[in-house]
Structure 1
Amino acid sequence: MKYVKVEATGTGDFLDPDRYLGLLPTLVNVLPPGARAFSVDPDHYNFFSRRCVKDLKPDTLLRGETVGEDWLQLGFRHNCWKHEEDLSIRYLGISSLSLDTINELDWASFHAVTLDEILPHKHGCSHEIGFLDRSLTVVSRDLIATWTEADCPDKPPRS
C-alpha cells in the first residue's frame, strides 16, 4: 500500500493508517461516490469499531457482467469476537485486478484482512486490500460496500 503501513514484526504486525487518514480529506472530492462513502466511514480504520475492516475473513467471490460492464463482488465474513456484520464489496466497471487468477477457491484460502487503502484512479478508484500473506488490488469505476447482519452463534456478550 502506498500510505497505509502494514509491516510484519518479530512479535506480530504493525498496522498504521494515520498517513492515509491524514491525506484522505484531500482525496474525497475526487473519489467516486461509493468509494468515498466507504473510505470516510469513521469506523473503517477504528480498530475498536465493529465495522473496522481489520480481521474480516474472505468468504465469497462472484463475477459477472451487466450492460457490457464487468463487476466483481467480494464477500468478507465477520470475526465473532469483533464484528456483528459481514461485509460485501461490489466493484463496478472493473479495469484491472492484481490477481487475475483469483477464483473462489483461492479467495476462501486468503488470510484475514489487515487493512486496506482506497485511492483515486483515472478509471475511478483503486482499492488495495492487505492480507497477512498477500494483497489484492481492484481498479474500478466505483465500489459499493454493504454491511449485513452476521449469524454469530458464539458471539461474546456485549458489555
Structure 2
Amino acid sequence: MGFERDPWPANVLDPEPYLRVLPELAAQLPTGAAAFATDADHYDFGSVRCVKDLTVGAMTVREAGHGQVAVVIEFEPNRFKHDSGLVIRYEGVTRFTVEVDESKPGREVWPESRRIGDVQLDEILPARTGCTHEVKLTGGTIFVQCADLHATWGSPGT
C-alpha cells in the first residue's frame, strides 16, 4: 500500500496518510472508484459502512465480453458491526492477485476461521488504465487493477 507507515506498528491502523492526499487523488480516479473512496463512512471505523472488519465471502473472475475481464468480490458483514455486506464489481480488469500469508505455527484455527482474514485497510489509487484497489486483510492481500469499480452495500443479489 502506498501510504501505510514504515515500519507499520503492530495493531495500529491509521488511514490518515492516505486520507490527507485523497482529495487530490479523487480527481484522478474513475467515477465509481472516486465515489467509493471518498464516501464519508469508508474509513470511519465506527460506521456500519466502513470496510474494516468485512470478510471475503466469494471472489469471481469472468469473461465480460468485448475482450474484457470482470471481477466481483463479495464481502460479508461482521455481525457485530455491519448491517449488510459489500459487493465490489471491477470492470476492465488487467491485473488481479490474491496473496495469502503463510500460516503461523501454533495459531489456533477454529472451524469458522477465515484463512484470508478480515479487511484492515484499503487504498484506491489512480492508474494509467483507471485505478488500482489494494485490500489488506489480516491473512493476506487482494490487488485489482481495473478501468473502474462499483461498490454496493447489500446482499450480492442487490
Q: Same fold (TM over 0.5)?
A: yes
TM-score by length of 2: 0.83
Q: Aligned Cα RMSD in Å?
A: 2.0
Gaps of 5+ in 1: 102-107, 151-159
Return 131-140 or 51-60, whichever deviates more: 131-140
Alignment of 1:64-143 (within 5 A): 64-67=62-65, 68-99=67-98, 109-143=115-149
CA distance in 1, matches of 2:72, 2:28: 23
For residue 14 of structure 1, what is the aligned residue in structure 2? 12
Q: CA deviation at 1:66?
A: 1.8
Q: Does 1:35 align with 2:41?
A: no
Q: Is the 8 A contact 1:56 1:77 kept in 2?
A: yes
Q: Is the 8 A contact 2:43 2:50 kept in 1?
A: yes
Q: Which residue of 2 aligns with 1:105?
A: none
Equivalent residue for 1:146? 152
Q: Tell me the amino acid that sits aligned with residue 55 of structure 1.
A: D
* Contact preservation (8 Å) 1:5, 1:14: no
- The structure that is helix-richer by fraction is 1
Q: Number of aligned pairs?
A: 141
SS in 2 for 1:16: coil
Q: How far apart are the structure 1 equivalents of 2:88 and 2:77?
A: 14
Residue 109 (structure 1) shift: 3.0
Percent identity (aligned): 39
Partner of 2:53: 55
Which 5+ residue runs of structure 2 have no aligned equivalent?
101-113
Per the normalisation by structure 1, the TM-score is: 0.82
